Structure 1
Amino acid sequence: MSDNQPTPDGVLRLINGYWATGVVGAAAAHRLFTHLEDGADTAGHLAERAEISERGAQTLLDGLVGIGLVELAGGRYRNTPEASAYLVEGKPASLSSFARLKLKHMGALVTLPDVVRAGGPITDPATEVADNPHWEEIVPAIAAQSVPAAEVAAEVLSLAGAGAISILDVGGGSGIYSALWLTANPAARSTQLDWEPINQIARRLLHERGVADRFTCIDGDFHTTDFGSARYDVALYSHIAHQEGPEGNVEVFTRLRQALKPGGALVVCDYVVDDDRSGPAFPLIFAAEMLLKSKQGGTWRRADYRDWLTKAGFEEVSFHLAPPATLVVAR
């Protein structure tokens, strides 16, 4: 076969991409990355430590080597730096619980051809209600995804030295931004607006982090709850814009502008695509998730955010990378 002739390898990897989801999810379920980090470096050691079959341990190791999350040298296995940072339990940005959660979501993709034809969900999304027990599982599982972006945002805004600022986190979920920002700035105070069951989860996290005394919750839906006027120095709108349509985002941005004090900053964190929709890769493919699960959402362009924020009354808009997300800071 000629060196220039394409092979099916890449296409087959994509067609069978669910294998990677399964291998990572199963490895996380049995804490393999954590055991590898602690020195269990052979299939036998892992099987003993994880209380699984040696055949199963070897199969997972083979798969993890194949997808680039585990390295093999001299017959010994170890986590790659990426796996060590993001899949070992107990580390701040660990995504191990999210990897386990995604095993349950694979079946939903069967409906994607019908969703593409219809232009949106073919049944009403069942999870988007306040009293769904689903939140107890998913909210903590996705919290770690926001750690890198929250740290970048803290640097961009110089939050550590900002003094006694007030923060509004709209749809704050786990409260991870508040937890990190209040830890960085012992004079800051934060208010989270979200549904009551989700706020309960956030209160637990903030209590565990020792900053609950400077954390307040407002139980409500951000579509209808009043944000107030000139109350906050910083407002946060993280991973919500992709669920909303253009008109909805302009409306919320306008109310957030009103809620900020003069000179205040709005931080929007989301998966943002280039204006010509040529990249980045993760936000582009994430658009399928929004088509599957939301009626109006999508992965929006930088130009969209500039337009919406200008309409909302902001004068300065800047973009800061926090891969795979982008921070949009408006003043």
Structure 2
Amino acid sequence: MKASSPSPDGVMRLINGYWATGILGVAAHNRVFTHLEEGCATAAEVAGRAEISERGAQTLLDALVSTGLVDVCEGRYRNTAEASAYLVEDRPASLASFARLKMTHMASLADLGEVVRLGQPVASPVVEVANNPHWEAIVTAIAAQSHPAATLAADLLGLAAAGEVSILDVGGGSGVYSGIWLEANPRARSVQLDWQPINAIARRLLEARGVGERFTCVDGDFHTTDFGSGQYDVAVYSHIAHQEGPDSNVEVFTRLRKALRPGGALVVNDYILDDDRAGPAFALMFAAEMLLKSKHGGTWRRADYHRWLTQAGFEDITFHPAPPGTLVIAR
């Protein structure tokens, strides 16, 4: 091969990308990152703590070094800063449970060819129904993704010093926004609108955080439930817009605008594309997830959100990076 020829290494890594999903899921299942954080530094030590074979532990560690999540020096292993922040269990932004969950989703990619041909899911989307039996695992696993964005939004809005504010979280899932914001502001109160099985999970989690007495749930579908008029200082619409089509998002944004008091703010968090569709990388790839699982969803551009929010009556619209997503604040 000529020196100027490109290397096939990157292509090979992408072709075999499912290995990374599997390795990461199994490592999370066996708490490898947590064991490393707690002082295990060799394959033998990880094997002993995780109760797995030493050969298996060595294979996991080698693969994790390949992913860039673990460093090795003279036979001793340690988490990178990224793994320490996002893959050690029981940390607010830990994605360990999400890594375990995604490993179980790999089989769905077998349908991708037919889904691309049809432009919609092969089977009825399970994620869009209230009685999804997997809500317990899904809702808790994805909560950590919103932790950095919810923390950033609290800072941008000055919620800690905002006094008696009223919050509406539409499709709030685990209640992660309400939990973080109610902890930051002991005078705030929050209402979450979601399906009953999901609200039950959120109530349990927020009671455990000690803010349950200021957290109220409304059981219902946000497509048909009235948000009220002029009742809230802040509204949240996090990781919902990617499941909806343009008309639905405009309709919901319009009702959210009506629900806000004068000067109120809408917080939107999602995987949002640059207008030229050149990035961000995660948002570009996530569109395939929506093609597999929703009839009308997708990853939308900044220009789309700006247009929809303007149509809904918002005038001041700003975008803020909140990897892996983007935070939008509209007033």
**If the length of structure 2 is used for normalisation, what is the TM-score?**
0.99
Partner of 1:39: 39
Unmatched runs of 5 consecutive residues or more in structure 1:
none
Q: Is the 8 A contact 2:126 2:293 kept in 1?
A: no
Q: 1:288: Cα distance to partner?
A: 0.6
Q: 1:75: Cα distance to partner?
A: 1.3
Partner of 2:182: 182
Letter in 1 for 2:197: P
Q: 1:129: Cα distance to partner?
A: 1.5
Partner of 2:5: 5
Aligned ranges 1:1-331 → 2 under 5 Å? 1-331=1-331
CA RMSD of aligned residues (A): 0.7
**Which SS does the other structure have where 2:122 is aligned?**
coil
Deviation digits for residues 28-82 of structure 1 (CA, Å, limit 9, x no counterpart): 0000000000011000001000000000000000000011000001210000000
Q: Is the 8 A contact 2:254 2:312 kept in 1?
A: yes
**If the length of structure 1 is used for normalisation, what is the TM-score?**
0.99
Letter in 1 for 2:93: A
Measure the CA separation in 2 of the matches of 1:127 and 1:296.
13
Measure the CA separation in 1 of the matches of 2:149 and 2:133.
27
Letter in 1 for 2:301: R
Measure the CA separation in 1 of the matches of 2:50 and 2:123.
40
Q: 1:132: Cα distance to partner?
A: 2.1
- Matched residues, percent identical? 72
Q: 1:128: Cα distance to partner?
A: 2.1
Measure the CA separation in 1 of the matches of 2:130 and 2:295.
18
Q: Is the 8 A contact 2:70 2:78 kept in 1?
A: yes
Q: 1:93: Cα distance to partner?
A: 0.5
Q: Is the 8 A contact 2:169 2:191 kept in 1?
A: yes
**Which SS does the other structure have where 2:250 is aligned?**
helix
Measure the CA separation in 2 of the matches of 1:72 and 1:57.
14
Unmatched runs of 5 consecutive residues or more in structure 2:
none
Tell me how many residue pairs correspond in the alignment: 331
Letter in 2 for 1:220: G
Q: 1:120: Cα distance to partner?
A: 1.0
Measure the CA separation in 2 of the matches of 1:147 and 1:210.
17
Measure the CA separation in 2 of the matches of 1:55 and 1:216.
50
Deviation digits for residues 6-25 of structure 1 (CA, Å, limit 9, x no counterpart): 12111010000000000000
Q: 1:3: Cα distance to partner?
A: 2.9
